[in-house]
Amino acid sequence: MMYHSASPSDAGKPALAHRRAARHGAAMKHNASPSARNSTALLRWLQLLAASIVAMVVVGGITRLTESGLSITHWSPISGIVPPLGTAQWQAEFAHYRQIDQYAAVHSGMTLAQFKGIFLWEYTHRLLGRLVGLLALVPLVWFALRGAIARGLGWRLAALPLLIGIQGVLGWLMVASGLKPGMVEVAPPWLAAHLLTALFTLGWTVWQAAEIAALRRNPDTPPARLTATGAITGALLAVQLGYGALMAGLRAGRVTDQWPLMNGAFFPGASEHGESLGHALFTDPGIVHFIHRWFAWVVVTALVVMARRLRRKGLRGASIAVHAAFGTQILLGIATVMSGVALPLAVLHQFVGALLVVATAWGAQGLGRAR
C-alpha cells in the first residue's frame, strides 16, 4: 500500500496543485487495492483453500490411524491419479504391499478386500493433495492475469502453491522412510515435518484471507505485523503440534489410558536405561506423551493471553474462536487417551487441532492489525 501526505512546503501551493495531488493519491490507492468484486473472489478462494487443507489433514489422520499410509508403495504424481481398475491391477498393488515389512508385522493375512480398504484412504489422501495443489495454483494464475491481486499480496499468495508442493515432497519422503527394510511404520520426524508443513500452510492461508477481509472493509488498512504475542503463541503451538505428530508416529497415545496419571505415576520414567537426552525427548514414547500432555498447559496460557488481548482490541469473534478451539482440543485430547485412542476421538482431536491453528492465525493477524 502507498500513502501520500502533504508536507509543510505544500501550504503555499495553489489549490489546483492540491487537487492534482489528491487525484494522484486516489489513483495510486485504487491501483494498489483490488476492486470489491475481486477482493470478494480472492477471499472466497482462500477460504475454500483453507477448508480443503483442513480436509486433507483430517484424511491424513485417518490414513495414519488405520495404518494405511504405506499401502501405496510408489510415487507417481501423474499416473497415480488413476486407481487400479481391474483385478489384475489390484493384485499387482497388493503384491507390492506384501513385499514390505509392515505387511508381515501389521496386516499379515489380510485379504484383497481388506487391502482395498486401506488403499482407499491413502489414495484419497494423495488425491486430495493434488486437488489442493491445483486449487492453490490455478486460481492464483487467473487472479494474477486479471490484475486482481493488491500490491504486496502477490508474493504471499504465490507462496501457497510452493508450500503445498513442499508438503507433497515431504509426504513422499515420509512414506519412503517406512518402506525401508526393517521399518514397519513411517519415521516420526518425517511425519512431524509433513504435518507441521500442512498446518503452517493452513495458518498462512488464513492470515492472507484475514488481510484481504481487512482491505475489503478499508482499502487504506496497512498490512498486519506479527506481534510478540502472536509470535510466541504460534511458536509454542508449533512445538505442541510437533509433539502431537511424534505421539502419532511413536504410537505414544497407547502408552497409557489414564489421566492425569500415567500407569499410576505422574512421570512415567525412561523406557530404556541409559538413553540419551535427545532420545528421551524425541523418541521415548512415554516421555513424549508426558511432554505433549503437560506442555499443552503452557500453550493454553499463551492462548488465554492472546484471547484476552483480542477482546480488549474489540475482536470478540477471534477471542471466542481461540477459547473454544483450545478448550475443545484439551477435552478431546484427554478423551482420546482415556479411550485407548479410539478412532473417532483421535480423528476429532486432529480436526480440532487444525481449527485451533485457524483460530490462532486469525487472532495473530487481528492483533497485528488492530493497533
Residue 22 has pLDDT above 80, yes or no: no
Instruction: Tell the residue number behind the cell numbers 477471534, with chain if given.
Output: 318
- Look up residue 173 and give its three cell numbers: 519422503
Supply the pLDDT for residue 288: 97
Confidence of residue 206 (pLDDT cuts 50, 70, 90): very high
Averaged pLDDT for residues 151-169: 94
Supply the pLDDT for residue 220: 81
**Alpha-carbon span 98 to 351, nearest angstrom:** 31
Instruction: Tell the residue number behind the cell numbers 488413476, with chain if given.
Output: 82
Supply the pLDDT for residue 270: 84
The total of other beta-carbon atoms located within 10 Å of residue 173's CB is 15
Instruction: Classify residue 334 as exposed, middle or buried by CB count within 10 Å of its CB (0-12, 13-18, 19+).
Output: middle
The overall average pLDDT reported for the chain is 90
Residue 367 has pLDDT above 80, yes or no: yes
Instruction: Check: CB of residue 336 under 8 Å from CB of residue 345.
Output: yes
Confidence of residue 5 (pLDDT cuts 50, 70, 90): very low
Supply the pLDDT for residue 334: 98
**Alpha-carbon span 259 to 131, nearest angstrom:** 40
Q: How far is CA 298 from the centre of its chain?
A: 20
Confidence of residue 370 (pLDDT cuts 50, 70, 90): low
Averaged pLDDT for residues 91-107: 95
Give the predicted TM-score (pTM) of the model.
Answer: 0.88
Least confident of 89-103, 109-123, 215-229, 254-268: 215-229
Supply the pLDDT for residue 35: 66
Supply the pLDDT for residue 30: 40
Instruction: Tell the residue number behind the cell numbers 505414544, with chain if given.
Output: 252
Residue 24 has pLDDT above 80, yes or no: no
